[in-house]
Structure formats: structure tokens, C-alpha cells
Amino acid sequence: MNGELLGVRDLKMYFGIRDVSSWFGPRRILKAVDGVSFGIGRGRTFGLVGESGCGKTTVGRTILRLYRPTGGEIFFGGTDITSLSEGEFFPYRRTMQMIFQDPFTSLDPRQTVGEIIGAPLSVHKLVSNRAERNERVRELVSMVGLRNDHIGRYPHEFSGGQRQRIGIARALASMPEFIVCDEPVSALDVSIQAQIINLLEEFQDMFGLAYLFISHDLSVVRHISHRVGVMYLGNMVESAEVNELYGNMLHPYTKSLMSAVPAADPIAAKALRRIILEGDVPSPIDPPSGCPFRTRCREASDVCAERNPRMADAGAGHMVACHNVTA
Ligand SMILES: Nc1ncnc2c1ncn2[C@@H]1O[C@H](COP(=O)(O)OP(=O)(O)OP(=O)(O)O)[C@@H](O)[C@H]1O
Ligand code: SF4
Ligand SMILES: [Mg+2]
């Protein structure tokens, strides 16, 4: 596993769903994640980008075993955790945590900040008595920039940014090694976003945390990530080290996606704007044959309808899945 903390190999997560118009009809298969591979080393951030519905959250939730994967393998610290029973997986519930997009719904409104942050300490038996637990809660609250007098208050008494700090403290309480950050700043004002990103970076440096950082915001992902993966319709279509990816986009979808971002440089912006994404994302219930992007790709040829290109190294670990890109 090349010393990776997290290794994801050919991960598949399919959901059986029923058409709302025919509850008694046959179940159909929705391929939310359809063969995704990547790895994350300790102290590193892997940014995951792609349009809404491409499967980013499902990747994160499947790694954390909130879903049982349909196929593929997940390794953590060199151990295959894909098929562990809930009991066997329990220790990993401590080391693998999640920070959610919406700090308004992810915190229980009936619990105080102290109860929210203290819960993982008790569940994972990280403290031996109430005094120790209270002391640790005070430490965590201070680490995320909140005050002692916040401990007895309820989530509704806080701003969005403060709630996200509570969410981060809860995630850090169990001393994790890996955190899925699912759009952690998307719901926040721009000025607050930077504070939360700085906090996440600070904790990464302090504790050597690995992050899977999911976001729509390509500039935030560029800022925080060491490596970036681009998803389209349940597939990973390109991944590379951050500067390589943003400086040398190879996949037609990545180029289109990035061209939708307003660039600071007007000349670059003009060049990029020539590539526009046309048409809607196809349904993951009925994806196109061959390459998933072919219905919107200007470079598509006959082979693209026949075979889904596999991810291949185009040089120095820059992985691309496109019939038109070769090493
Ligand atoms: N529990 C579920 N049951 C059935 N379908 C699901 C479930 N969770 C997600 N899906 C479907 O799987 C696909 C991927 O969803 P997912 O939430 O992972 O996308 P996403 O990339 O995180 O999107 P967004 O950017 O909007 O958050 C979507 O078509 C979604 O409707
Ligand atoms: S494989 Fe074909 S359809 Fe897919 S991105 Fe490449 S050129 Fe476009
Ligand atoms: Mg999502």
C-alpha cells in the first residue's frame, strides 16, 4: 500500500431504488460510485471535486462504512477494512471521523456543546471519569477557538462558523487519524470560510491528520489539497498532485469543469471559457455505454461509446481515464 494511510481500490457503491411512480415495480440500480481508486498518506489532503450528484459524498460515507460497499476494497493503515463486521470496525469509528457541510443540522439541538464534544470521549472510553472528561472538553473547546462559557450552551445559540468549530472539536475529540470533510465551508460566509480552512490546516500540521476534502469550490480545493481527484458520474476521471492538475489538465471533463471558474487572469479566463460544459449529467441509473463523459465530450469518437477508459498514468503519477490521452 506504499505507506498510505487510506487506500481505496475500485470502490463501488450501488443503491437499489424504486421509481416513485411504481412502488411495486422492479428495483433499479443506481451506480453512485462505480470503480473509484485513490490513496491518502498521513498528513495529506486529497481534494475531491465534481458536479453535484457525481458521488463525492457517497465515496466519503462508504469509506466510513456508513454504507456497505457493493465492490472494491478499502485499506486503512494497511488493514483491509472492507468487510469487517460492525464490532470489528468499532475501533475505526474512533480513528476515522467526518465533518459535515451543514453545521445547522449535524449537531443535535438538544445537546449542549459539552455533551456533543464529550460524547466521543465516553463512547471510545478515552477518559476515565467526569473530571477528566470535563478537562478534555475544555481543551478541545479552546483549541477550536471557543470559550469555556460556550460549553453549557446549545447549538442554536451559535453562528454558522462557530457551529462548524463545534463540529471540528467533536471530530477531533476521539483523536482521529483521518477525517472526511464533506463541503465543510460551503454553507459559510466567505470571510468565515478562511478561518475554518486555517483551523483544519493547523490541526493537520499538529496531529498529522489525513483529510478527504470534498468541495464544489475549486479554488478552496486548490488551496488546501496536496492531491486532487475529479469525479464524473460515479467514476474518477483524473487525479494528480495539485499543481500538476491545475497547471496541466488532461481530461476533457476537468478542462470543462475548471473553465466554469472565474479566473483572476482575464486572458486565461478567456481561453478557458472556450470550453463550456453542454448538456446535463446523465442519470447514474442509466449511464451511457463506454466513457461516462461521452455524451457531453467534444472529443468523443466511436471507441468512447464502446469502452470505458481505465485510469492510466500519463506521467509522474498523473492519472487520467480518457482514450485520447496517452502517456
Ligand atoms: N442513500 C442513497 N440512496 C439512493 N441513492 C443515493 C443515496 N445517496 C446518494 N444517492 C444518489 O447517488 C448519487 C451520488 O450522490 P452523492 O450525494 O454522493 O453526490 P455528491 O457528488 O456528493 O453531490 P453534491 O455535490 O450535490 O453533494 C446521486 O444520484 C444521489 O441521488
Ligand atoms: S474517452 Fe472519449 S468521451 Fe471520454 S473523455 Fe476521452 S475523448 Fe471524451
Ligand atoms: Mg455531497
- The domain that holds 237 is classified in CATH as 3.40.50.300
| Confidence band of 35 (pLDDT split at 50, 70, 90) | very high
| Residue 15 within a domain | yes
| Residue 106 alpha carbon to ligand 3 centre in Å | 14
Write out the residue range of the structural domain in which residue 190 sits. 6-320
Q: Are 69 and 12 in contact (CB under 8 A)?
A: yes
| Residue 1 within a domain | no
| Residue 326 within a domain | no
Decide if pLDDT at 275 tops 70: no
Our answer on whether the CB atom of 292 is closer than 6 Å to any ligand 2 atom is no
| Residue 57 alpha carbon to ligand 1 centre in Å | 7
Our answer on whether the CB atom of 249 is closer than 6 Å to any ligand 2 atom is no
Our answer on whether the CB atom of 322 is closer than 6 Å to any ligand 2 atom is yes
| Residue 48 within a domain | yes
Decide if pLDDT at 20 tops 90: no
| Residue 165 alpha carbon to ligand 1 centre in Å | 26
- Which one of 233, 235, 324, 325 would you pick to mutate in the ligand 2 pocket, going by the greatest count of ligand atoms within 8 A of its CB? 324
Our answer on whether the CB atom of 32 is closer than 6 Å to any ligand 1 atom is yes
Decide if pLDDT at 299 tops 70: yes
C-alpha angle 113-203-122 in degrees, rounded to nearest 5? 40
| Residue 327 within a domain | no
Average pLDDT of the segment spanning 220-247: 97
Cα–Cα distance measured from residue 272 to residue 249, given in angstroms and rounded to the nearest whole number: 11
Q: What is the pLDDT of residue 241?
A: 98
Phi and psi at residue 29, to the nearest 5°? -100, 125
Our answer on whether the CB atom of 54 is closer than 6 Å to any ligand 1 atom is yes
C-alpha angle 170-242-183 in degrees, rounded to nearest 5? 30
Q: pTM of the entire structure?
A: 0.94
20 or 231: which leads in pLDDT: 231
Our answer on whether the CB atom of 17 is closer than 6 Å to any ligand 1 atom is yes
Decide if pLDDT at 149 tops 70: yes
Q: What is the count of structural domains for the chain? A: 1
Cα–Cα distance measured from residue 321 to residue 303, given in angstroms and rounded to the nearest whole number: 13
| Residue 295 within a domain | yes
Whole-angstrom CA distances from 97 to 164, 174, 280 are 14, 8, 33
Our answer on whether the CB atom of 300 is closer than 6 Å to any ligand 2 atom is yes
Cα–Cα distance measured from residue 256 to residue 267, given in angstroms and rounded to the nearest whole number: 16
Our answer on whether the CB atom of 284 is closer than 6 Å to any ligand 1 atom is yes
| Residue 325 within a domain | no
Q: Are 255 and 276 in contact (CB under 8 A)?
A: no
| Residue 79 alpha carbon to ligand 3 centre in Å | 27
Residue with cell 446523465: 282
- Which one of 27, 56, 62 would you pick to mutate in the ligand 1 pocket, going by the greatest count of ligand atoms within 8 A of its CB? 56
Q: Are 291 and 300 in contact (CB under 8 A)?
A: yes
Average pLDDT of the segment spanning 190-203: 95
Q: What is the mean pLDDT of the chain?
A: 92
Our answer on whether the CB atom of 57 is closer than 6 Å to any ligand 1 atom is yes
